[in-house]
């Protein structure tokens, strides 16, 4: 079954709702919150992300990101989301569907995510992942969602385990993280697998 176009047509003002989070595509007006949260969380995020560009937090770099996200959404190859706390409205992190594949892959997608330091450990990212996985299966028609993380990233492993993902193996030198090619643990969940309820 081909992927349905729900996300491609999702307006920035339209949220995917969870119990404690609201999820939507990023917009220009998010720049101040995004740059502040990312700046405050730089040391926290550095071990788990590709090396930051010199102008990583500039408004121009943010606008380039938005253009790339829009292009991927139009092409049907990826979708970026910002995650907000429902009560405060604060930006807490981001999630991304990338590498969307159809054909013999039967609608597979790779999930990535990041969380601001001051919001880590509160269960918000687990709820965001559960909410997006349910949306991917129930509304988008995905067959499979994949994710990868460093073996040393215990919080990320917990998010995936709590979200119903199964460990599937190790990919050697899978991604260049913090300037080095590093092995990653691979996880997957398929339509029909139990997806836990968000807590």
3 domain residue, yes or no: no
Closest C-alpha to 18, from 133, 118, 161: 133
* Single pTM value for the model: 0.88
Residue-wise pLDDT tens digits, 7-56: 444 555 578 999 999 999 999 999 999 999 999 999 999 999 989 999 99
Q: Residue 94: how many CB atoms within 10 A of its CB?
A: 22
Query: Can you give the C-alpha Rg of the chain in angstroms?
Result: 16
197 domain residue, yes or no: no
CATH number at 46 reads 3.40.630.30
Distances (CA, A) of 117 to 52, 92, 122, 125, 127: 17, 9, 11, 12, 16
Residue-wise pLDDT tens digits, 108-137: 789 999 999 999 999 999 999 999 999 999
82 domain residue, yes or no: yes
Task: Work out the mean pLDDT of the chain and round it to a whole number.
Answer: 89
Q: Evaluate the CA torsion angle 165, 124, 36, 40 in order and state its sign.
A: negative
* Per-residue model confidence (pLDDT) at position 161: 95
Provide the domain limits for residue 96: 16-190
Q: How many domains does the chain have?
A: 1
Query: Do 33 and 91 meet the contact criterion of CB atoms below 8 Å apart?
Result: yes
Closest C-alpha to 100, from 149, 147, 142: 142
Query: What band does 194 get if pLDDT is binned at 50, 70 and 90?
Result: confident
186 domain residue, yes or no: yes
95 domain residue, yes or no: yes
7 domain residue, yes or no: no
């Amino acid at each position: 079954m081909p992927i349905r176009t729900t996300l491609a047509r999702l307006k920035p003002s339209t949220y995917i709702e969870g119990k404690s989070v609201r999820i939507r595509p990023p917009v220009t007006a998010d720049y101040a919150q995004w740059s502040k949260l990312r700046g405050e969380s730089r040391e926290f995020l550095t071990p788990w992300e590709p090396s930051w560009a010199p102008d990583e937090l500039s408004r121009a770099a943010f606008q380039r990101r938005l253009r790339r996200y829009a292009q991927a959404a139009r092409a049907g190859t990826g979708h970026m989301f910002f995650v907000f706390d429902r009560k405060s409205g604060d930006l807490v992190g981001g999630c991304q569907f990338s590498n969307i594949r159809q054909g013999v892959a039967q609608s597979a997608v790779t999930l990535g995510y990041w969380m601001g330091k001051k919001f880590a450990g509160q269960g918000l990212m687990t709820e965001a992942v559960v909410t997006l996985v349910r949306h991917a299966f129930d509304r988008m028609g995905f067959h499979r969602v994949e994710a990868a993380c460093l073996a040393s990233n215990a919080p990320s492993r917990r998010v995936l385990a709590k979200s119903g993902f199964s460990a599937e193996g190790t990919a050697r030198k899978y991604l260049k993280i913090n300037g080095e090619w590093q092995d990653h643990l691979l996880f997957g969940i398929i339509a029909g697998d139990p997806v836990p309820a968000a807590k």
